[in-house]
Structure 1
Amino acid sequence: MSTQTTPDGTRPGGSAGLDLAAAELSDALTRRPRTIPPRWLYDDRGSELFSRITRVPEYYQTEAERSILAAHASSIAEITEAVTVVELGSGTSDKTRTLLDAFVAHGLIRRFVPLDVSEQTLLEAADMLAERHPEIEVAPVVGDFTRHLGRLNAAGDRIAGPRLIAFLGGTIGNFYVEERRAFLGALADVLSPGDWMLIGMDQVKDIGRLIDAYDDSQGITEAFIRNALVNINATYGGDLDVGGFGYVPFWDGRQERVDMRLRAEEPMTARIDDLDLDLEFFEGEEIRVEISSKFRPHELLDELVDSGFDRVDAHVFTDDADDFALVLVRRS
């Protein structure tokens, strides 16, 4: 079945989305400490860079998660009996193929709904999956999963039966604590009792391995983080000096997360025309771009239960090295 765009799948660059995104970015860049919302990492070039990150030797997460899916996707299909699978931040939907193959083999799935902010990447992946599985409807939704979860319930008529929302790749670790709890609550609100969520989480481990995973020898992660500045400049007519910032990844032991920042290497100014924004950076000033929190399964499960999911029906799947985990929970 061919792919289709959803009725309200307005591009994030549409007028309403642009106004909100502009206000959010302007606020983030002007308050202290300065931050950049993670959505600015994921234009088409950012999505391509992240795809390359998943293939560098230091970045173990993708292959660990892939091995879990290969071993347990059939069990996940049997447990959930989902007729609709939704993937948040689907990107190239690379690992999702394994999951969908198992659901198709199980014989109940009728629709796959990938959601991603990068329209070109999303539609290309959706076309590929539609060709791979012509027996199911592939209905891509262009949007930001931090702001557009409501679009999932507007993506055509609801098919009777349980849904599974897949949130893979350890992306849950990119939220600060309060943001994460609010996001999990919003996910619970989107789901109906009996729906399921599958969430990927990177586990706490040796600090050296963690830092290497975000400071790879090829410099791809650094290019990915810097691309946020490139994207902002291109979108809003800015002149942020991409090369004037150093890339600074470090381990925050108190919060148990990797923190990725850009640090001004000398005093500088910048102008972003479309935001009517003038910025002044002092030497050594940092912009917080992304974090990646690490978890123990019981900690994340506690947060999920607090958000409205059922502990009794929870399942935790790990890879052989116990590096990564998939947590499967049912909406209460």
Structure 2
Amino acid sequence: MSSFHLTRTLPEDATEAALRADVLHGLTCSPTTLPPKWFYDAHGSMLFDKITELPEYYPTRAEREILAAQAPEIARATGARTLVELGSGSSEKTRLLLDALPGLHTYLPVDVSESALTQAGHFLISERPDLNIHALLADFTAPLHLPHTPGPRLVAFLGGTIGNLLPAERTAFLTSVRAWLEPSDALLLGTDLVKDESVLVAAYDDAAGVTAEFNKNVLTVVNRELGAHFDPDAFTHIALWDAEHEWIEMRLRSRTEQTVKTPALDLAVDFTEGEELRTEISAKFHEDGVRSELAAAGFDLMRWFTSPGELYGLALAAPSRSAPALRPAADRITACVR
């Protein structure tokens, strides 16, 4: 018989405390930044769902194509009895993995949204009467202890979200994941790939303006939650390809000279006309780079799958025999891009 269980590892005020810390740190950086995780309130999540359906935005479709074609091979290679998904959200694409894992005993979604975990969990149970779901309300970028579940375990980190981390942050994060795993476990990592600049920029600056609205939503979240005085109309959405670092940057460019106050933080930030606030980086990868970053974190690349046209890659990796020293989690959340 199926079951649904939710474990809360976050205190009730954790979200507010994290937002306050991120906004204070980011708006006192030079240049100023706001982390992309604060795009995703209810409205932001709805906007992102619209983005994934846009003709310009290929990553979601490309990743789904790989999973549809390769999920049986992933199942054969891992023999997973527990599927752990980091940043699970609606668990939509994960259904392809769930269907392909005949010996699966437990699905362990990890997310900061209790409503997303509960809704997805109950829906999956209605579809799969033999599945046990142990949802974990947690921030996977912080130190995390997974509950005991049957092995082997497959940890899935999909959507290309790894690209939102800076290189040192990626190494620290992947090293922390390696520390959770037993030798028989595996990691499935979604990575967007380097391609023509015009394709990349269009994916983050669509003709319909949905991504622009999504980008500005972070200002709405800060206004609502911290009483800030951002005027979203006073900023322009910008998407740029940084060829040196091989990442897309999303920014908000101030249309005029202005001062933005955030009373909850006793903070006032001056913006000059044309000054930019960075809201996201999205790194793009090559196979060799993914292999190297995994190796630095204590993984061996087992399989490398790509979508038609080499748009997107899925890396299936296993723990190497020796694990590197775990880097401090705090290093992952305090960096400013300069």
Which amino acid counterpart does residue 9 of structure 2 have in structure 1? G
What one-letter code is carried by the residue in structure 2 that aligns with 1:323? L
Which aligned pairs between 1:166-177 and structure 2 lie closer than 5 A?
166-177=156-167
Name 2:325's counterpart in structure 1: none
> In structure 1, what is the Cα distance between the partners aligned to 2:253 and 2:56?
23
Partner AA of 1:247 in structure 2: H
Give the structure 2 partner of residue 117 of structure 1.
Answer: 112
Matched, 1:33 2:31: yes
1:262: how far off? 0.5
Q: Distance in 2 between matches of 1:24 and 1:61?
A: 27
Matches of 2:191 and 2:121 in 1, distance apart?
25
Distance 1:2 1:233, change over 3 A: farther
Offset of residue 140 of structure 1:
2.0
Shift of 1:2: 4.0
What is the distance in 2 between the residues matched to 1:49 and 1:144? Answer: 22
Matched, 1:97 2:87: no
What is aligned with 1:72? 70
- Say whether 1:283 aligns with 2:277: no
Give structure 1 stretches of 5+ with no counterpart. Answer: none
CA contact (8 A) 1:115 1:145 kept: yes
Query: Do residues 150 (structure 1) and 144 (structure 2) align?
Result: yes
Q: Is the 8 A contact 2:4 2:133 kept in 1?
A: yes
Separation in structure 1 between the aligned mates of residue 287 and residue 159 of structure 2, nearest angstrom: 15
State the percentage of identical aligned residues. 43
Please state if 1:244 is matched with 2:244.
no
> Are 2:191 and 1:208 aligned?
no
| TM-score normalized with structure 2 length | 0.90
User: Who is 1:10 aligned against?
Assistant: 10
Aligned partner letter, 1:26 = L
* TM-score of the two chains, using structure 1 as the length reference: 0.91
Q: Which amino acid letter does the alignment assign opposite residue 144 of structure 1? A: D
Query: How much has 1:198 moved relative to structure 2?
Result: 0.2
Contact 2:22 2:34 in 1 (8 A): no
Give the Cα–Cα distance (whole angstroms) in 2 for the partners of residues 20 and 323 of structure 1: 34
The alignment partner of 1:160 has SS state of coil
Which amino acid is the alignment partner of residue 3 of structure 1? F
After alignment, is 135-144 or 238-247 more displaced?
Answer: 135-144
Q: Match for 1:329 among 307, 317, 338?
A: 317
Task: Give the SS at the match of 2:278.
Answer: strand
Does residue 271 (structure 1) correspond to residue 261 (structure 2)? The answer is: yes
Moved over 6 A (4+): none
SS at match of 1:3: strand
- Name the CA distance, whole Å, in 2 between partners of 1:145 and 1:242: 30
Instruction: Give the Cα–Cα distance (whole angstroms) in 1 for the partners of residues 211 and 15 of structure 2.
Output: 27
* Cα distance between partner residues in 2 of 1:16 and 1:208: 39
Mapped contact 1:46–1:224 kept (Cα < 8 A)? yes
CA distance in 1: counterparts of 2:17 and 2:62, whole angstroms: 39
State the partner residue of 1:162.
Answer: 152
- 2:50, 2:210 within 8 Å by CA — same for their partners in 1? yes
- State the secondary structure of the residue aligned to 2:109: strand
Aligned-partner residue type, residue 175 of structure 1: L
Q: Aligned partners of 1:230 and 1:143: how far apart in 2?
A: 24
Segment of structure 1 superposing worse, 269-278 or 68-77: 269-278
- Figure out how many residues of one structure are paired with residues of the other and give that number: 319
> Which secondary structure state, in structure 1, belongs to the residue aligned with residue 149 of structure 2?
coil
Shift of 1:175: 1.0
Aligned Cα root-mean-square deviation (Å): 1.6
Which aligned pairs between 1:290-305 and structure 2 lie closer than 5 A? 290-305=280-295
SS at structure 2 position matched to 1:317: strand
Maintained 8 Å contact 2:291/2:300: no
Structure 2 counterpart of 1:304, one-letter code = L
How far did residue 133 of structure 1 move? 1.4
CA deviation map 1:169-225 (0-9, x unaligned)? 111111111111111111112222221100011111111111111111121111111
What amino acid maps onto 1:327 in structure 2?
A
Counterpart-to-counterpart distance in 2, 1:280 and 1:164: 47
Match of 1:85 in 2: 83
2:122 aligned with 1:127: yes
- In the TM superposition, residue 24 of structure 1 has moved relative to its aligned partner by 2.9
From 132, 138, 155, the equivalent of 2:133 is: 138
Give the secondary structure class of the aligned counterpart of 1:216: coil
Give 1:326 deviation, angstroms. Answer: 0.5
SS at match of 1:303: helix
- Give SS of 2:309's match: coil
Secondary structure of 2:76's counterpart equals helix
Aligned partner of 1:134: which letter?
A: P
Q: Distance in 1 between matches of 2:135 and 2:179?
A: 21
2:43 pairs with 17, 42, 45, which one?
A: 45
